[in-house]
Amino acid sequence: MEELTVGLIGMGEMGRIHAQNLATLPHVRLLAVASRREDARSAAATSLNVSRLYADYEALLEDDDVEAVVIAANTSDHAELVIAAAQAGKAIFCEKPAALTLAEMDRVLSAVRAADVPFQIGFMRRFDPPYARAKRQIEAGAIGRPVSFLGISRDPYLPAPEDKSALARGNLFLDLGIHDYDLACWLVGDQVVQVYAVGGALVYPQLRDFGDLDNAQVTLRFANGAIGSINLSRNARYGYDVRTEVLGSEGALRIGDVRQTALDLLTRDGVHYGTYPWYQERFAAAYRQELCQFVAWVQGQAEPAIAGEEGRTALAIALAATESFRTGQPVELDEGSHIKRHRIAP
């Protein structure tokens, strides 16, 4: 494989994770970084030996030596950035979600198709070794036909300031839950046709002022009759907790564990064990592997791992959950993941 030259847009928390991985991946050169923050650009030059630093993404996209871009900017900017990168002819990796509305997502997909460039969305859980093994087991028939999906995604705290600025990445259903919707469709192997959601700002009541919530339960019904349940929370004080269970007609798979290691401390005060503090530790391997897959695809060494339309499917479920929460009614999706009763502005 030849070396792939990559530009990174955005140097926040996710941008730094991707930058560290890109700087150490084989057959990859992190050539350029675009960030509005001067300190972030300086850090990229000093710690990662990035030679080309840009204050705006337009200049990075105009750099003919940049073959591919990794987008890790604010979620509200993703659609604009993907469209611009596609028009510039770059291969694109974009953090989830690639858009915040279905209309935006459709424009993204149209731009990518018109430019005929590789486009991968950052659903990193698919690349976590236990999840990848579970998918292979399901495809091999180890648990028979999947009939029930259970997902748990719990953050230990709010990952951003508790004000309106946090909504730039979407509400709880979109920002946190979108991983579970993607996993549900991927592991069950079918489309969601009905969504019902309940929840509230039960721990951080100030979120009500901005239309967000900190705890929710989402119920799914699939086209083939399978069912799903997803628990979302921002207040798992004990640690970062992501687990999944798929029940089949002949068995079940349990994926993930709140324990970080198999070491237990047993004393007169009780039994204690370590939990994952945050997502960086739990999915470190997955973040690296998703970029390896993207590079291999761009270099013609692998098949696409995640279709852009799958990102639209997860987004549609997130928006349906938001509408269901607001209206108190189930929301139906057609088999193309179009919301039949969509009361959110497109």
Q: What is the pLDDT of residues 183-202, one digit of tens each?
A: 999 999 999 999 999 999 99
Average pLDDT over residues 4-19: 97
Average predicted confidence (pLDDT) for the chain: 94
Return the pLDDT at 277. Answer: 94
Other residues' Cβ atoms within 10 Å of the Cβ of residue 302: 13
pLDDT in tens, 134-162: 999 999 999 999 999 999 999 999 876 55
Return the pLDDT at 158. Answer: 87
Residue 191 · residue 334 · CB < 8 Å: no
Residue 98 · residue 70 · CB < 8 Å: no
Residue 111 main-chain phi, psi, to 5 deg: -65, -40
Strand, helix or coil at 48?
helix
pLDDT in tens, 28-39: 999 999 999 999
From the list 30, 54, 94, 22, the residue with the least C-alpha distance to 306 is 94
Return the pLDDT at 168. Answer: 66
Residue 30 · residue 23 · CB < 8 Å: yes
- Distance from C-alpha of 313 to C-alpha of 180, rounded to nearest angstrom: 12
Average pLDDT over residues 313-319: 97
Least confident of 29-33, 164-168, 178-182, 319-323: 164-168
Cα-Cα end-to-end distance for the chain: 42
Tell whether the model's pLDDT for residue 344 goes beyond 50: no
| AA identity, residue 260 | Q
Counting residues of the chain whose pLDDT is more than 70, the rounded percentage is 95
The reply to whether domains 4-122 and 127-282+310-332 share a CATH topology is no
- When pLDDT is cut at 50, 70 and 90, the band that residue 87 belongs to is very high
Tell me how far CA of residue 305 lies from CA of 160, 248, 289, in angstroms: 30, 24, 11
Beta-sheet strands, E only, within the chain: 4-9, 28-34, 52-54, 68-71, 91-95, 119-122, 146-154, 192-200, 215-222, 227-233, 241-248, 252-255, 259-267, 270-275, 331-332
Return the pLDDT at 106. Answer: 97
Return the pLDDT at 165. Answer: 55
pLDDT in tens, 45-82: 999 999 999 999 999 999 999 999 999 999 999 999 99
The architecture of the domain spanning 4-122 is 3-Layer(aba) Sandwich (3.40)
Tell whether the model's pLDDT for residue 42 goes beyond 60: yes
Tell whether the model's pLDDT for residue 334 goes beyond 90: no
Residue 28 · residue 2 · CB < 8 Å: no
Cis peptide leading into residue 159 (ω within 30°): no
Residue 189 · residue 146 · CB < 8 Å: yes
Residue 156 · residue 236 · CB < 8 Å: yes
Q: Which fold has domain 127-282+310-332?
A: Dihydrodipicolinate Reductase; domain 2 (3.30.360)
Domain map (residue ranges) of the chain: 4-122, 127-282+310-332
From the list 303, 254, 249, 281, the residue with the least C-alpha distance to 120 is 303
pLDDT in tens, 290-301: 999 999 999 999
Tell whether the model's pLDDT for residue 125 goes beyond 70: yes
pLDDT in tens, 263-283: 999 999 999 999 999 999 999
Tell whether the model's pLDDT for residue 345 goes beyond 50: no
Tell whether the model's pLDDT for residue 346 goes beyond 50: no
Tell whether the model's pLDDT for residue 342 goes beyond 70: no
Tell me how far CA of residue 167 lies from CA of 159, 182, 244, in angstroms: 11, 21, 26
From the list 148, 214, 130, 206, the residue with the least C-alpha distance to 175 is 214
Q: Which residues contact 189 (CB under 8 A, 6 or more apart)?
A: 138, 146
Q: Which residues contact 337 (CB under 8 A, 6 or more apart)?
A: 191, 192, 312, 313, 316, 317
- Distance from C-alpha of 182 to C-alpha of 294, rounded to nearest angstrom: 18
